[in-house]
C-alpha cells in the first residue's frame, strides 16, 4: 500500500481536530477564506498595476529606479515573507494578517499622494513587504481551519484572488485612461495606485473579527482560546476535549521521538515546495503578462499616442487576465477531486505544449495569423498554469508543514518563489536579446517537462488527508520507511 493510501486510511485520532476536519464547509468558511485572500487580490493588483502606470509617472526615473519600481516589489516580497514567517509562528496568523492589511493600506495611500520619487519608492517598498508577508501566511491560515475534503478548494481561493487582482488592475487602468486620457500623467495614475487601499481597508476592518487559527492556538497551549475559535467555526467542544487533543498530539510527537521541529520530513517538504515554486516561476508564466502586451500592442493599437498604445497593451493583457481568472475556476473545482499531483503534471504538460505553439507563431508567422496563434498559445499556456500549477504551489506551501513551523517553512518557500520571480523577470530581456524569443520559449517548454518529472518523483498526493497525516507522509518518505 502506498504511503498516501495508508495515510488516507489511518484512523482519525486527533479529537477536536478530526471533528474540525469533517465539519460541513459552510458559507462562513468561504467567507473566511476570501477574507484571508484579500491580500492575494492585492498581491495580484499591486504586482500588475505598476506596468500600467510606469509610462505616466511625472518624474524623471533612472533605469535603476524604473527597475526597482517594477521588480523591487518581488524582492521586497521575498524579504516580507521571511520577516513574516517567524512572527506569525510567534504571534499567530490573525494578528499578522491584520498588520499586513494595515501595511497594504498605508502603502496604497502613500502611493496615491506621493510628492516625489523617494516617496513612491518607499510606498512601493511597503507594498512589496506586504505582498510577501501575505504570500507567506494566507494559505497557512486557511489550511489550519479548513475541513479536509474541501481544503484544496478553500486554499485555491488565494490563487483565484491573485488572478482577479491582476485582471481588476488592468480594468481600472483601462477605465481611467479611457475616461480621462488627458489626466494620464495627472490624477489617473494616483487613483489607479491608490485604489488598492479600498480592499486593504476592508480587510483591516473585517480581519479584526475573524477567529484565530485553532491549530495555532492549540499548538501554543491556548486551550480556552482554541475552544472559542472552534465555536466561531461552528464546533462546540469543551476545554477538556481540547486539552485531550493536545495531549494526544504531544503523545504522537513523543512516540516519534522528535528532537527538533525541523525534522527530516519537514526539510524534505521544504525542498519539494521550494523546487515546485522555482518551476512555477521559471517555466515563464509572467512573461505573457509582462511582455505579452508589448509584443502584441502593435497589432492592437488604433492610434499612436502614448495613451493609445498603453490602452492597446492593456486590452491584450485584459484578454489574458480573463483567461487566467476563468481557468482558475477549474483548479478550484478539481483540486480536491483529481488531486494535486495529477493536476500539477497536467498543468506543466499543457504549459510545455502551448508555449511551443506560441513560439511557432512568433517564429514562423506574420500579420493577423501571428496575433491569433500567439494569443491562443499564450491563452492555453496560462490556462494550463492556472488549472494545475499556480494555485497548487500556494496550496502545498500551506498544507505540507506541521503547525509548529508552518509559518516559517511556508515563508521560506514563498521567499524562494519571489526570488525566482525576480530572477526570471529581470533576466528575460537579456535572454531574449541574446537568443531570441522563440528559443527562450522552447527553454520554458523544456523546463516544464523537467517539472513534470519532478512532480512525478517527489510530490506526494495530499488531497483529503488530515494535515497532521500529511506531515507524517513526508516524515516517512524522508526516513525511507514505507
Ligand atoms: C504566481 C505569480 C503569477 C500569478 C499569475 C501566481 O501563482 O505566483 O507569479 O503572476 O500566479 O496568475
Query: Which is the closest atom of ligand 1 to the Cα of 159?
Result: 7
pLDDT value at residue 227: 96
pLDDT value at residue 13: 54
Convert 400-431 to b/e letters by CB count within 10 Å (16 or more is b).
bbbbbbbbbbbbbbbbbbbbbbbebbeebeee
Which of 97, 20, 33 has its CA nearest to residue 332?
Answer: 33
- CA-CA distance, 130 to 110, in Å (whole number)? 14
Q: Are 56 and 184 in contact (CB under 8 A)?
A: yes
pLDDT value at residue 11: 47
* Residue to substitute in 70, 128, 286, 389 for testing ligand 1 pocket (most ligand atoms within 8 angstroms of CB): 286
pLDDT value at residue 234: 94
DSSP 213-256: PHHHHHHTT-HHHHHHHHHHTT----HHHHHHHHHHHHHHHHHT
Query: Which is the closest atom of ligand 1 to the Cα of 390?
Result: 7
pLDDT value at residue 480: 84
DSSP 313-347: HHHHHHHHHHHHHHHHHHHHHHTTTT-HHHHHHHH
Residues 6+ apart with CB under 8 A from 433: none
Ligand 1 centroid from CA 292, angstroms: 15
Ligand 1 centroid from CA 458, angstroms: 22
pLDDT value at residue 254: 73
Which of 221, 349, 367, 345 has its CA nearest to residue 296?
Answer: 367
pLDDT value at residue 298: 66
Classify the phi-psi angles of 303: left when phi > 0, otherwise alpha if psi is within -120 to 50, otherwise beta: beta
Q: Are 57 and 387 in contact (CB under 8 A)?
A: no
pLDDT value at residue 297: 67
Q: Are 347 and 385 in contact (CB under 8 A)?
A: yes
Ligand 1 centroid from CA 390, angstroms: 6
In this prediction, the residues of the chain whose per-residue pLDDT falls under 70 are: 1-14, 256-259, 293-302, 482
In order of 173, 226, 257, 267, 480, the CA distances from 261 in angstroms are 46, 22, 11, 10, 19
| Predicted structure pTM score | 0.93
- CA-CA distance, 174 to 167, in Å (whole number)? 11
Residue nearest to atom 12 of ligand 1 (CA): 163
Look up cell 483548479; give the residue.
Answer: 331
Query: Which is the closest atom of ligand 1 to the Cα of 135?
Result: 8
CB atoms within 10 A of CB 153: 22
- 3 state SS of 476: helix
Residues 6+ apart with CB under 8 A from 152: 335, 336, 340, 395, 463
Ligand 1 centroid from CA 235, angstroms: 35
- CA-CA distance, 30 to 67, in Å (whole number)? 38
Torsional sign, CA 157, 162, 163, 168: positive
CB atoms within 10 A of CB 465: 22
pLDDT value at residue 481: 72
Amino acid at each position: 500500500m502506498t504511503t498516501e493510501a495508508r495515510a488516507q486510511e489511518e484512523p482519525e485520532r486527533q479529537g477536536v481536530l478530526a471533528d474540525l476536519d469533517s465539519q460541513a464547509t459552510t458559507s462562513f468558511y468561504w467567507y473566511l477564506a476570501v477574507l484571508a485572500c484579500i491580500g492575494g487580490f492585492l498581491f495580484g493588483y499591486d504586482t500588475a498595476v505598476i506596468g500600467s502606470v510606469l509610462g505616466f509617472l511625472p518624474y524623471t526615473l533612472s533605469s535603476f529606479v524604473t527597475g526597482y519600481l517594477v521588480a523591487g516589489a518581488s524582492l521586497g516580497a521575498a524579504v516580507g515573507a521571511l520577516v513574516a514567517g517567524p512572527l506569525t509562528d510567534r504571534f499567530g496568523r490573525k494578528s499578522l494578517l491584520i498588520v499586513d492589511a494595515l501595511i497594504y493600506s498605508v502603502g496604497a495611500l502613500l502611493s496615491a499622494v506621493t510628492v516625489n520619487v523617494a516617496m513612491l519608492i518607499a510606498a512601493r517598498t511597503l507594498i512589496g513587504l506586504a505582498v510577501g508577508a501575505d504570500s507567506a501566511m494566507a494559505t497557512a491560515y486557511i489550511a489550519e481551519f479548513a475541513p479536509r475534503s474541501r481544503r484544496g478548494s478553500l486554499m485555491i481561493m488565494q490563487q483565484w484572488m491573485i488572478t482577479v487582482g491582476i485582471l481588476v488592475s488592468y480594468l481600472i487602468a483601462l477605465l481611467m485612461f479611457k475616461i480621462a486620457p488627458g489626466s494620464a500623467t495627472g490624477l489617473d495614475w494616483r487613483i489607479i495606485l491608490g485604489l488598492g487601499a479600498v480592499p486593504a481597508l476592508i480587510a483591516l476592518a473585517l480581519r479584526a473579527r475573524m477567529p484565530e487559527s485553532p491549530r495555532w492556538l492549540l499548538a501554543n497551549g491556548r486551550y480556552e482560546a482554541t475552544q472559542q475559535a472552534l465555536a466561531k467555526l461552528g464546533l462546540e467542544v469543551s476545554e477538556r476535549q481540547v486539552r485531550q487533543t493536545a495531549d494526544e498530539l504531544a503523545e504522537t510527537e513523543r512516540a516519534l521521538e522528535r528532537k527538533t521541529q525541523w525534522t527530516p520530513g519537514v526539510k524534505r517538504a521544504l525542498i519539494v515546495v521550494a523546487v515546485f515554486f522555482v518551476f512555477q516561476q521559471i517555466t515563464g508564466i509572467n512573461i505573457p503578462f509582462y511582455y505579452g502586451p508589448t509584443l502584441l500592442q502593435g497589432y492592437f493599437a488604433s492610434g499612436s499616442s502614448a495613451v493609445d498604445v498603453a490602452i492597446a497593451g492593456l486590452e491584450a493583457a485584459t484578454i489574458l487576465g480573463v483567461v487566467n481568472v476563468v481557468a482558475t475556476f477549474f483548479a478550484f473545482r478539481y483540486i480536491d477531486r483529481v488531486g494535486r499531483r495529477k493536476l500539477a503534471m497536467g498543468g506543466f504538460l499543457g504549459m510545455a505544449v502551448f508555449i511551443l505553439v506560441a513560439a511557432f507563431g512568433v517564429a514562423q508567422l506574420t500579420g493577423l495569423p501571428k496575433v491569433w496563434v500567439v494569443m491562443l498559445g499564450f491563452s492555453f499556456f496560462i490556462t494550463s498554469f492556472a488549472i494545475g500549477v499556480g494555485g497548487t504551489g500556494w496550496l502545498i506551501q500551506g498544507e505540507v508543514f506541521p503547525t509548529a513551523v508552518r509559518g516559517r517553512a511556508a515563508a521560506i518557500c514563498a521567499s524562494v518563489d519571489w526570488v525566482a520571480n525576480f530572477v526570471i523577470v529581470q533576466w528575460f530581456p537579456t535572454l531574449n536579446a541574446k537568443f531570441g524569443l522563440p528559443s527562450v520559449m522552447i527553454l520554458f517548454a523544456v523546463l516544464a517537462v523537467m517539472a513534470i518529472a519532478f512532480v512525478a518523483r517527489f510530490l506526494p498526493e495530499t488531497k483529503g488527508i488530515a494535515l497532521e497525516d500529511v506531515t507524517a507522509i513526508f516524515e516517512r518518505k524522508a526516513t525511507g520507511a514505507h
